[in-house]
Structures are given as C-alpha cells and as structure tokens.
C-alpha cells in the first residue's frame, strides 16, 4: 500500500499579518527511492520567526519561499529507508525537510542530512538548544557581543529558544545577564529557571519612558552587549542604556514581521556612544558550527543549559502554531510533533 505524505504548502503571500489561510495542506504519495536517496520520517518540525520574512516576495537575505511548495523548515526524525551507504534505517537525523511528515533527501548533497546521537541529548533539542537557535545564540554572543567577564548583556525575547540560550551562555562567561520578555510568567522563568540576573516585562511597561526606566533599574552599570531579537521600542530602550563602545548583535526584528516599518528613535546614539551594530545570519557562518555545537551539546548533556519547548500536536497544527509564535504565544522553542 502506498504511503501518503502530508505537506503544508505556501498557498499565498500575506498582506500585513500572516494567517492560516496563507497555507494549504495536501496529501501526496511517497515516490520510490532512487540511488543515493534517503527516506526520513519526521518526528518534530521547527517553527522559527525567520519563516515569516521568507513568505514575502520582497528582497531579503534569502530567496523567498516559493508558492505551491513545501514550507521550508528544520526537522528531526529517523531514517525509514536508505539507498545511501552513509545512512541506515533507524538512524536519528536532522535536516531541513520542511513542513511535512516525510522527506526524500539526496544524501549526496553536503549538509542535507546529519546523523545525531540521542544518548544524552533528546532528539527535539537538535532543533533548539543544540541546533540552529543555539548556534545563533552562540555566534551573536561570542563573535559580535564578545562579552568580557563582569560586563552586562541584555537579551530581548529572553524566554525564547535563542534568547534563553544567549543569557545562559553569557552567565557561563561571567557576565551579568538581563532579559526582556513579555509577561510575568516568562520573566519568572527567565530568572528562576534560566538563571538570568533580572528580566524586564515589556508588557508591563508599554510606554517607552517606562520601559527605559525599568531597564535602567536593572542595569545600574549600563549595557555592554545587546542581543536583539525584537527591534522597535525595545531596541530604543536598550540603546539609551548602552555604554561607550557597546556591541549590538542584530538577530531579529520580530516587531516588524507584519510588514510595518520599524523606526529607530535614537540613531545618533550609534555615533555618540561609538556603538557597533551588526546584523548576522547564522547560516552564513557554517565554519563555527562544530565549535558551537560542541559547547552547546556538552552544556545540554550535563544539564547546565536549560530550555523549554512548546509542542503543537500533529502536522495539521503547524500554521496555527506558527501564527502563535509570531504573536508571542509560545513559551521557549516552538515545535510541531508530527
């Protein structure tokens, strides 16, 4: 009997906010494998903010997600069938299989599929703390913020998969870690479970002046490094607290993912405080991945790097979970269990 694959395609490009009607669920029969190919049964799909930008047709750092094609995205699962000598049935693997239950992968393409060890690290963690989000955190912190022991690092979206790792990696390096997150539960988690020194609830300080004052209270010595995931008023507040020669790793601008322009209120501070602001895309720095994954894997395996996952059940739930991610409804890394 032919196995059917369930796939989410991008059906239309959003105008303003993305919605579930931008996606279409289809069922297609799995083809017979050719030499060099591997059939993977996905167990978890990764949902990430960058996917929203790729839904647009406008110019960006990556090509737009094609219409009527399977939504791009990281995946983990196991090999069901293999016609490639380096992979065998039962192997745990991580790849970019997209929003679908199965993927046929060309095992000869470098980096298309990687075997992972789940002895001490859960399979799902390879999409989070020991995957792209973790390496993103590691690169932005170590290569751009480059903090020294005793310095203060501020992280926006601090309860998320990337932000949570940034703060913990900063603490490992002897820094003071201050988070910005939405809501008392997320802030409590950031401090009590992840070990940040403080966390500011931006939802309790909607006014820019109030947000600045709240941040000032928990950064008495100013801010030396900023890992920015949000932009807008959050970045404005942090820039007002930046010390001279501070470094800002610009990872995301989720406040503008609905297409709204994101103004910067105090651009003159970049000059006045001689700040370094650098945007980065972690896939452009594959040379550091082995070093980053070694540290991240060791910290997770020994329980020193903590993380939380929000898991949506069933492939059918992917669009709703994705929209929820963009609105901040997730807690930690957003996954779909297929």
Residue-level pLDDT at 1: 55
Q: Return the SS3 of 269.
A: helix
Closest CA to 275 of 251, 296, 249: 249
* Chain position carrying tokens 């083809």: 31
Instruction: Return the percent helix, strand and coil in the chain, to nearest 5.
Output: 30, 25, 40
CA–CA gap between residue 110 and residue 125 (Å, rounded)? 22
Residue 178's pLDDT is 98
pLDDT of residue 255: 83
Name the stretches of the chain with pLDDT < 70: 1
| Structure token digits, residue 31 | 């083809």
Architecture of domain 132-283 in this structure = 3-Layer(aba) Sandwich (3.40)
**Domain 4-127+307-337 class in CATH:** alpha beta
Residue keyed to tokens 């699962």? 77
d(CA 132, CA 130): 7
Q: Is-contact 309 332, C-beta < 8 A?
A: yes
What pLDDT, on the 0 to 100 scale, is given for residue 72? 95
Q: Cα 303–296–38 angle (5° rounding)?
A: 110
Sequence-separated (6 or more) residues with CB below 8 Å from residue 289: 135
Task: Say what the pTM is.
Answer: 0.92
All structural domains of the chain with their residue ranges: 4-127+307-337, 132-283
Three-state DSSP class for residue 278: strand
């Amino acid at each position: 009997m032919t196995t059917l694959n369930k796939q989410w395609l991008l059906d239309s490009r959003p105008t303003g906010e993305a919605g579930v009607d931008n996606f279409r669920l289809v069922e297609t029969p799995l083809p017979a494998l050719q030499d060099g190919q591997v059939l993977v049964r996905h167990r978890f799909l990764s949902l990430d903010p960058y996917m929203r930008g790729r839904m647009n047709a406008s110019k960006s750092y990556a090509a737009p997600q094609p219409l009527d094609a399977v939504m791009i995205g990281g995946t983990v699962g196991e090999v069901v069938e293999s016609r490639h000598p380096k992979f065998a049935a039962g192997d745990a693997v991580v790849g970019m299989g997209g929003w679908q239950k199965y993927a046929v992968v060309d095992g000869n393409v470098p980096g298309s599929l990687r075997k992972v060890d789940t002895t001490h690290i859960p399979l799902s963690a390879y999409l989070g703390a020991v995957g792209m989000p973790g390496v993103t955190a590691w690169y932005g912190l170590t290569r751009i913020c480059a903090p020294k022991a005793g310095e203060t690092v501020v992280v926006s979206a601090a309860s998320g998969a990337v932000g949570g790792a940034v703060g913990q990696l900063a603490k490992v390096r002897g820094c003071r870690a201050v988070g910005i997150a939405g809501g008392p539960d997320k802030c409590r988690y950031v401090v009590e479970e992840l070990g940040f020194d403080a966390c500011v609830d931006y939802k309790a300080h909607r006014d820019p002046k109030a947000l600045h004052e709240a941040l000032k209270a928990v950064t008495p010595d100013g801010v030396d490094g900023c890992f920015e995931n949000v932009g807008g008023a959050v970045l404005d507040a942090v820039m007002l607290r930046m010390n001279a020669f501070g470094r800002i790793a610009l990872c995301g601008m989720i406040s503008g993912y609905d297409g709204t322009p994101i103004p910067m209120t105090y651009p003159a501070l970049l000059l006045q405080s001689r700040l370094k602001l650098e945007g980065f895309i972690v896939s452009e720095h594959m040379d550091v991945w082995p070093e980053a994954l070694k540290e991240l894997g060791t910290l997770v395996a020994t329980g020193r790097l903590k993380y939380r996952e929000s898991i949506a059940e069933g492939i059918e739930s992917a669009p709703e979970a994705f929209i929820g991610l963009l609105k901040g409804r997730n807690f930690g890394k957003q996954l779909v269990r297929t």
